[in-house]
Amino acid sequence: MNKNKWNLKSEYTVSSPEVLSLAEAVKIPPVTALLLLLRGCDTPEKANAFIQLSEAKLHDPFLIPDMEKAVLRLERAITEQEKVVIYGDYDVDGVTSVSVLSLYLKKRGLSVSYYIPDRSGEGYGINNLAIDKFASDGVTLMITVDTGVTAVEEVEYARSLGIDTIVTDHHECQSRLPGAVAVVNPRRADSEYPFKELAGVGVVFKLVSACEKKRWQNSGCLKEKLYELSSDFIDLVAMGTVADVMPLVDENRLIVKLGLEILNSRPRAGVTALLDAAGRNEKKKAAITASVISFVIAPRINAAGRIDSAERAVGLFLSDSPSETQRIAAELCEINRERQAEENRIIEEAEEKIKKECDLEQDKIIVLADDHWHHGVIGIVASRITERFGLPSILISFDGDMGKGSGRSIKGINLVDALTDSEEHLVKFGGHELAAGLSVTRESLPAFRQRINEYVKDHLQDAEQLAGIDVDCELSGDAISLEAAESLSLLEPYGIANPTPLFMMRGATLRSIMQLGEKHAKLLVEKDGVSVTALRFGKSRAELEYYAGDKIDLLFNLGINEFRGTVSVQLILKAIRLSEGEFDIDKADRRRYEEIMQGASFDKSEDVLPTRDDIAPVYLWFKRHYGNTRDDITGVRELLSQFAGNSRIHYAKLRVILKILNECGIVAIEQLGENGENLRYSVNYVKNKVDTERAPTYLKLKNQIQK
């Protein structure tokens, strides 16, 4: 993905007549009106319905195929007090699915157990060894949640041992469904359910809703009972829906909105304990949003299933005991720290493998394998690799001759289709368009790598057309206001298919940039006479190769800052680039310098070796500016722009001058940033004359001049 390609979703601007008309009718800022138009709300009625969720509703659960059969079989199990096991998955969707169904059935008086397979030892889905255990324990009904729709053989094996199965799932169905008592999945080909994008926990919620509807349909309290059911479980349904990255449209948007209301008004003990263990500020407890679920709650729940046991996470939601939930929450946070450490280790090793094993000019999908990578973490690393290199990636962890892999893709490359094309080289595979899992033998890996590369190359044009980052709209300086930022809450909750609004601004002037904390940066930018603060989280000042006076383009979300009683708008930066026409360093110049420093010979006409007359003005610049600016960092690009009138100071020579100044002790220079072109420096005032031609870099390069 080309991160410097920013695609405006529409030609609308905040001053378009349609935007201004809607803004006036609904009494909202033009920015919000524009966003509503992009979401298909082109009339005041549609806009108000979207804001108020007045047309959203929870659809009839009995429209999902086999729901009637599932309810009848489950009610029989409750009546006859059968031994029932819930078979789940190890991610947040699976954990919340198990939790909702367990809590509901226990509330109905059924003593129910649950089972989540070990990710490393058993892998995804139902397995026969687990079924053997259920049979020996006297289980007569197995209910799958967030899994099971492809488990044809396993369901048949369970039936042969006297175990009935109810499958609840939301994954894509194959042509043959399991021979279960009921297969409850809104994605079935014969489904009349109007919304296909429920999470696994959403399907479970439909099952328990159907049970309650059946129980109370002839009473006068059905509405009250369904409200009670929602009040009891909608928070867990919302968490699973957000964490599984389901589109927040239709009833998912209503589910998440209602769930967030419960999470903020009366969170269950496990949620409170987990947020506190994660370091929530006790004095100022921020609201729980979809982002908090995605970036705080979900990683800690997922970590249990990745490198420990997901059943530990289920315990967090099943318990009402503050002491027990605090203990489990602390354990989950520690497991998450272990996961982060393992993730960082694998990322470093994967990047080394990419340097040694991949030709990124030829390879259009990165396929890496190792015998010592934790299977539960490689999916996260694949996401990071894909994000960094803009290419699909698959990471495989081998145990003996069998490897389990996780892949992530980019827009335009359907990973499941790519794996289907390579299925002759795979043991099994499955997943979604942008994320999938697979199993492959060590012997088949080379052929698989070659075949899937061929597929991606053939379909790369589709991906290139979709490349880049989609942007809602471009804002001028005067369109950025506190009112506009506050009005964006009307469109919440945000998530897939209703994303947090992303804006761009072109040609802003960077007035200053400074460090914020250990890992972040704070910028002051100006556009159209309006100055605004912009925060870049996760990037320190040293990493940002931009300088006061630069004209820059910004990609950002609008945020609100509250500090000492003052509330103001701020930009939350997602990306920065130099504006068109701004001076930048040529990649070829950078490449040539690296070649020379690695020992390549060069012609005298390239004028790489500096004379004292070349070095003097650079030294004087450092001397003149040292201590006279708030920013203690300059950069190679900034220096080149200062010497634009000096034809003898070009990129490679300037880099050599900097090395010589540092080696001679005249200017202490620390190289920082992605390209090593940010310079933190201090000037050393030396009394004696320094012979720069005795510097190691000068002597080395002198010997590389072609004779």
What average pLDDT does the segment 546-564 reach? 92
Over residues 130-147, mean pLDDT? 96
Model pLDDT, residue 284:
59
pLDDT at 689: 86
pLDDT band at 3 (very low <50, low <70, confident <90, very high): low
* CA separation for the pair 525, 5 (Å, rounded): 21
Amino acid 163: pLDDT: 98
User: Whole-model pTM above 0.75?
Assistant: yes
> pLDDT (tens digit, 9 = 90+) per residue, 366-397?
999 999 999 889 999 999 999 888 899 999 99
How many Cα atoms are found within 13 Å in the side-chain-facing hemisphere of 662? 14
Q: Is the pLDDT of residue 630 over 90?
A: no
User: What pLDDT is stored for residue 432 in this prediction?
Assistant: 76
SS3 string, 240-253, reads HHHHCCCCCCHHHH
CA 167 from chain centre, in angstroms, equals: 29
pLDDT at 2 over 70: no
Residue 631: both structure tokens together: 């920013």
Domains and CATH numbers, the chain: 6-54+471-578 (2.40.50.460), 61-220 (3.90.1640.30), 358-467 (3.10.310.30), 587-702 (1.10.10)
Determine the Cα–Cα distance for residues 245 and 241; give it in Å rounded to an integer.
7
Contacts of 531 (CB under 8 A, 6+ apart): 511, 524, 525
CA distance 446 to 453: 11
Higher per-residue confidence, 273 vs 462:
273
Please check the confidence at residue 447 and state whether its pLDDT lies above 60. yes
Task: Indicate the average pLDDT of the chain.
Answer: 92
Q: What's the confidence (pLDDT) of residue 29? A: 94
Which amino acid appears at position 147 of this protein? T
Supply the pLDDT for residue 466. 64
| pLDDT on residue 112 | 95
Confidence label for 464 from pLDDT (cuts 50, 70 and 90): low
Residue 198 has a pLDDT of 96
pLDDT of residue 556: 96
To which residue do tokens 């809607």 refer?
22
Strands (E), 365-502: 366-370, 393-399, 402-408, 428-431, 435-441, 469-471, 473-474
Q: Quick check: 283 pLDDT over 60?
A: no
What pLDDT score does 281 carry?
62
- Alpha carbon of 615 to those of 160, 303, 444, 654, 659: distances in Å? 85, 54, 58, 9, 11
- Contact yes or no for 232/103 (Cβ under 8 A): yes
Question: Is 80 exceeded by the pLDDT of residue 294?
Answer: yes
Residue 435 has pLDDT above 90, yes or no: no
Of residues 220, 298, 230, the one with CA closest to residue 261: 230
Give the percent of the chain with pLDDT over 90: 75
* pLDDT, tens digit (0-9, with 9 covering 90-100), for 302-358: 999 888 888 899 999 999 999 999 999 999 999 999 999 999 999 999 999 999 998
Token pair listed for 438: 């697979």
Tell me, what's the pLDDT at 305? 86
Percent of the chain with pLDDT over 70: 97
Beta strands in 358-468 (DSSP E): 366-370, 393-399, 402-408, 428-431, 435-441
**What are φ and ψ of residue 415, in 5° steps?**
-65, -35
Extract the tokens encoding 350.
């994967």
In sequence order, which residues have a C-beta less than 8 Å from that of residue 521 and are 6 or more positions away? 513, 514, 515, 535, 536, 539, 540, 541, 543, 544
pLDDT tops 60 at residue 287: yes
